[in-house]
């Protein structure tokens, strides 16, 4: 699939220059800046661990020091335990501006004993509305689990503990915008969204349980770093598919695992929300079983 429009994704961008591929493993002091929340965000243990907290006054968040164009981004997160209703923990990539691109993991808290909702979305040129939601097959508050975004010119893969749960393919050939030209930073935050996060806003944040805390470790970035000048990041990924993979970049074992997740744990898929799209679901939904 990719070879048919290879030229369009071997990017030569006039505004950016890419360094060589970089691999950053584990140290938050070297890789991120605390951007809001003051003392509610803490880096400790020599940069190996980070925590974000939320109280009634404020949440907190951080962003990567560098911008990237394509790559793999892994983060180990232990989510807010107990009654996390109303809270949202995020891990995502985003560019800036009204026509921004964005690739989202959002973890929507819930009342004690109920499962978290893992919300995924893809924005391109400022347009999102491509939500898929999942429950997880484990308790994400008990220990750390790895959440990954694998972003190439061909596809965006969302993975949990290296199991793919979703693939959003590049369908520019049929006029679907795809994030490929705007460098993005890594972001993460913990904030209050009790107007919508839990059961559509019916369950509010219980501030007697505050502060709420999410824990992070083992940030790992294997991506193309971008700065001012001109870029060839896309060309580093044009031949990234390996033998045995399909045009989503998945081998047979990974495809089977994704089918299992989507059949057993997916709770919302925009591609089958016919009430939301009475004039017809988006064009990409008709092209692939997995999005």
Nearest alpha-carbon partner for 259 in 165, 186, 181: 165
User: Measured in Å, how far apart are the chain's first and last C-alpha atoms?
Assistant: 15
Q: Is 106 a known active-site residue? A: yes
Burial of residue 162, with CB atoms counted within 10 A of its CB: 0-12 exposed, 13-18 middle, 19 or more buried: exposed
Catalytic residue among 102, 131, 172, 264: 102
Catalytic residue among 67, 106, 172, 284: 106
Contact call for residues 132 and 120 (beta carbons, < 8 A): yes
Contact call for residues 184 and 103 (beta carbons, < 8 A): yes
Distance CA(247)–CA(155), nearest Å, equals 8
Distance CA(41)–CA(145), nearest Å, equals 20
| Residues sharing a CB contact under 8 Å with residue 91, sequence separation 6 or more, in sequence order | 75, 77, 105, 147, 149, 186, 187, 188
> What's the DSSP call for residue 210?
P
Beta-carbon count within 10 A of 98 CB? 6
Distance CA(158)–CA(127), nearest Å, equals 19
Question: Got the DSSP string for 60-76?
Answer: EEEEESSEEEEEEEEEE
Q: Is 31 a known active-site residue? A: no
3-state DSSP of 221-276 = EEEEEEEECCECHHHHHCCCCCCCCCCCCCCHHHHHHHHHHHHHCEEEEHHHCCCC
Distance CA(36)–CA(118), nearest Å, equals 23
Catalytic residues: 102, 106
């Amino acid at each position: 699939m990719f070879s048919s429009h290879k030229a369009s994704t071997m990017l030569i961008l006039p505004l950016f220059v890419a360094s060589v591929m970089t691999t950053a493993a584990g140290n938050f002091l070297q890789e991120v800046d605390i951007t809001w929340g003051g003392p509610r965000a803490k880096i400790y243990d020599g940069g190996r661990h980070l925590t974000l907290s939320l109280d009634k006054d404020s949440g907190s968040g951080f962003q990567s020091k560098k911008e990237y164009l394509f790559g793999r981004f892994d983060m180990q997160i232990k989510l807010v335990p107990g009654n996390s209703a109303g809270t949202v923990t995020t891990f995502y990539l985003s560019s800036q501006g009204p026509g921004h691109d964005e690739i989202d993991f959002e973890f929507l808290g819930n009342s004690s004993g109920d499962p978290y909702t893992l919300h995924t979305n893809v924005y391109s040129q400022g347009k999102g509305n491509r939500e898929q939601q999942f429950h997880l097959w484990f308790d994400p508050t008990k220990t750390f689990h790895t959440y990954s975004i694998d972003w190439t010119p061909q596809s965006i893969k969302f993975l949990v503990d290296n199991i793919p749960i979703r693939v959003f393919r590049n369908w520019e050939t049929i006029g679907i915008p795809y994030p490929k030209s705007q460098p993005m930073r890594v972001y993460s935050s913990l904030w209050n969204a009790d107007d919508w996060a839990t059961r559509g806003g019916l369950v509010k944040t219980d501030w007697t349980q505050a502060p709420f805390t999410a824990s992070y470790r083992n940030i790992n970035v294997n991506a193309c770093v971008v700065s001012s000048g001109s870029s060839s990041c896309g060309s580093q990924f044009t031949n990234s598919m390996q033998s045995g993979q399909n045009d989503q970049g998945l081998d047979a074992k990974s495809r089977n695992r994704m089918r299992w997740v989507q059949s057993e744990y997916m709770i919302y898929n925009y591609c089958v929300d016919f009430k939301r799209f009475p004039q017809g679901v988006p064009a990409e939904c008709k092209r692939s079983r997995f999005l």
